[in-house]
Amino acid sequence: MSEMTFNASPKLSIGVELELQIIKARELDLSRDAEVLLARLQRMEVPGAVKPEITQSMIELNTSVHDRYDTLLAELQQMRDIIAREALRLNLLIAGGGTHPFHRWSERRIFPDERFNFVAQRYGFMAKQFTVFGQHIHIGCADGDAAIYLTHAFTRYLPHFIALAAASPFYQGEDTLFHSSRLAVVDAFPLSGHMPEVETWGQFIDYFDGMVQLGIVASMKDFYWDIRPKPEYGTIEIRVCDTPLTVERAALLAGYAQTLAYHLLAQRPPAPLPATYQVNRFNRFEACRFGCDAQLVDAQSRQRSSLRDDLAGTIAMLHEDAAALGTTAVLAEIDALLRGAPAQSELLRQRFKQRQSLADVVQAQADYWMAVPSKQEDRKAVLGTHSS
Amino acid sequence: MEFAFLPSFPPELNQAILFGLMLLAGICGGELLRRGVGLPRVTGYVLTGLLLGPSALNLISADLMANARPIVDVAIGLVLYELGHRLDLSWFRHNAWLLAMAVAESLLTFGAIFAAMYYFDYSPLVCALAAAMGVATSPAIVLLVSHELRTEGQLTERLMSLTAINTAVAAILIIVLLPWLHMEHSATAMSTLLHPVYVLAGSLLLGFAIHRGVVELARWLGKREDRQYILLIGAIVLAVGLARALQLSVVLALLAMGVLARNQDAKRALLALQFGYGGQLFLVVLFVFAGASLNFSGWREAGTAIAVFLVVRFVAKALAISIFSTASALRLGSALPLAAALLPMSEIAWLMMHDTVTIYPDFGPELTSLLLGALALSELVAPIVTGLALRRSDEAHPEGELSRV
């Protein structure tokens, strides 16, 4: 079976990949202990899977495939507890957030693996700079055509995901002024950006074959698009999210994506090409830079509106779909976040302001992610209603 | 007396000249050995000291060495503070087996050496003092080798934690044992009991008091590396001086300060500073000094006992680490490298003992020849072993020195 055979998956199933930071407890810099930690985790009964990533300072957590948001959340929490416990036994911390605030990329070490070595050889310093941490959300599609439609239709909503996930205000020791500085790192790769404006799976195969013949790509993995079909899993994969500060926020994003996909596939609103991509990069920048306060341009109505209003409007539109899917709590949560909860990146900035040290920011990122019992007060700010 | 303004010839050696010469000779010796044979700089510093010291050229005589002692004490203070700062007590909360390993490693080493030396007919007190010194790993060597190779990882972290614990255990044992030596000679039973209590409690209290002061000052100074660096060096030098003046233990007081800085600073007022070049200055002097103190004459008098001492010491450490390696989440195959990395004997523990032992001429030589003999070999060879163990475990930075060996 070729890589490009679209393996239909249960409709609208969801799964999440989280790239996580492995932190040295003393210096709060990135560690290079991925191998040791993975070796330990491989001997445990961990649901889902835990895998290496490009440098020795990262691990990737993969959930199994879920039909429902609440089981996904429960599994993520279970995985978090196991990973946190094992990390602490090695005196390591695990942190979310899209970037490590002050690590030096030149200090990173490539994880010993054939593909990672290839990427490191090919991309040079960019590979080590790619030590940034994202969440990928998979949504199951019935066939390739549905995946192509969803990929285009979702593009309009990507700023929502960027803003809700954004947690990388600091990069290379500086306040970037961005809510999410991580995506700027992804942009450096030649095959980043978006899928071409094909309309069917057949056209996509033609495009892919052409790229292979030109020797530009060898597999789907070579495309670093914001959102891409993943025929091997029978999904589309949303890749714009920073790894959020908590697994609860990660599950929330997946629940929102599932609800939105349900709505789009049921209603099939048009996703006009090329208008969608005419405004895409601008909107994406706005969301990275300003979070929920971004000013978005709508390709169809030609109107500008704030991301906050656009998201609130979308939430309102999805109530019936959420009731059918069992994700009403997800919408309520996002609604609550929009009503005044500080953004994740703002929480990190506040911590820096209080403590005047980026090491303290890393500590906060680790405390949030590992759900340290003594720091529950702090977490409430990020968790919103989940904590009650 | 027209020329009375001229100095006598040769000019009198003052401490600054001594400090400067030890630094220059040390750095050249270290570099020569590294370039020539690819050995760790530490070994070069020690060899330089050995060459210049009383055992060989006698350019650094015993009198001069006494002059260098304040500088050496500051070096010891810096090393122990840094070591203490590497001891993360919360790690033991999440991994109690690691604490078990550390305690077992210290106690088993003590017991095994005591038994072995008793077999060689040394008096129980000599056996106990030798065993106490055998417990300790050299903090200066493991820190310096780790810095040179830029190592980081599980083995390095455990090496530092175990060294901190065995240094503390050895210091406490020596503090408890030395008054017995006094008693055998003159002191009363009362002072034998009170003296350790004074030293133990006093040193910890001193460490605590200065730590509190440092935290308050750090809050006031703010999180700036340049200011906090001076604050820390100032506090460490002051603590060393006070410990000396109050006849407390420099080792325990400074170790306590470091441990408290790492573990009792909830709001992280203190930055995790590296002493960097400034710290290395003092380390060079420490090793040249240690080298000058060494002599190999013990090998002639008690060669077998020294060899047995060293072998038993390694076996005891390896055994304790192996027993607890799986339970403490140490990677398979790392137990032996960790035990090997712990090999360097502590010149600091030696200095703790040396001051007292030499007071008693009829007691000193026996212990001195045994321990100096063991220390001499250890100072020269063990840094190489520690470096190898860390490199083999893939914890050295590719651009760290010695990576080509």
Count of other CB atoms within 10 angstroms of residue A42: 10
Interfacial residues of A (vs B; Cβ cutoff 8 Å): 24-28, 31-33, 36, 39-40, 85-86, 88-91, 355-357, 359-360, 363
Cβ pair A31:B262 closer than 8 A:
no
A236 - beta bridge partners?
A139, A229
pLDDT digits (tens, 9 = 90+) for B62-120: 888 888 888 899 999 999 999 999 999 999 999 999 999 999 999 999 999 999 999 99
Cβ pair A26:B86 closer than 8 A:
yes
In order of their start, the domains of chain B are: 18-26+41-188+278-392 (1.20.1530.20)
Predicted pLDDT at A43: 87
Stated as kind and residue range, the H or E segment containing A222 is none
pLDDT digits (tens, 9 = 90+) for A298-329: 988 889 999 999 999 999 999 999 999 999 99
| Domains in chain A: boundaries | 14-373
C-alpha to C-alpha distances, B195 to A68, A294, B171, B207, nearest whole angstrom: 69, 70, 14, 18
Distance between B331 CA and the closest CA of chain A, angstroms = 7
Average pLDDT over every residue of B152-174: 96
Q: Per-residue pLDDT for B243 more than 60?
A: yes
Alpha-carbon distance of B216 to B232, in angstroms, equals: 12
Q: How confident is the model at residue B187 (pLDDT cuts 50, 70, 90)?
A: low
Interface test with B, best of A91, A109, A357 (most B CBs within 10 A): A91
Cβ pair B268:A359 closer than 8 A:
yes
Any chain A CB within 8 A of the CB of B354? no
Percent of all residues in chain B with a pLDDT value above 90, rounded to a whole number: 61
Q: Per-residue pLDDT for A152 more than 70?
A: yes
Alpha-carbon distance of B206 to B77, in angstroms, equals: 13
User: Residue A353: closest CA among chain B residues belongs to which residue?
Assistant: B223
Predicted pLDDT at B27: 93
User: Residue B97: closest CA among chain A residues belongs to which residue?
Assistant: A89
Average pLDDT, rounded, for chain B: 90
Closest CA to B286 of B77, B134, B63, B81: B77
Its CATH architecture, for the domain A14-373, is 2-Layer Sandwich (3.30)
Predicted pLDDT at B354: 81
Count of other CB atoms within 10 angstroms of residue B143: 22
Cβ pair A91:B222 closer than 8 A:
no
Average pLDDT over every residue of A198-223: 94
User: Residue B95: closest CA among chain A residues belongs to which residue?
Assistant: A89
Q: Per-residue pLDDT for B404 more than 50?
A: no
Average pLDDT, rounded, for chain A: 92
pLDDT digits (tens, 9 = 90+) for B111-138: 999 999 999 999 999 999 999 999 999 9
Q: How confident is the model at residue A271 (pLDDT cuts 50, 70, 90)?
A: confident
Higher pLDDT, B12 or B216: B216
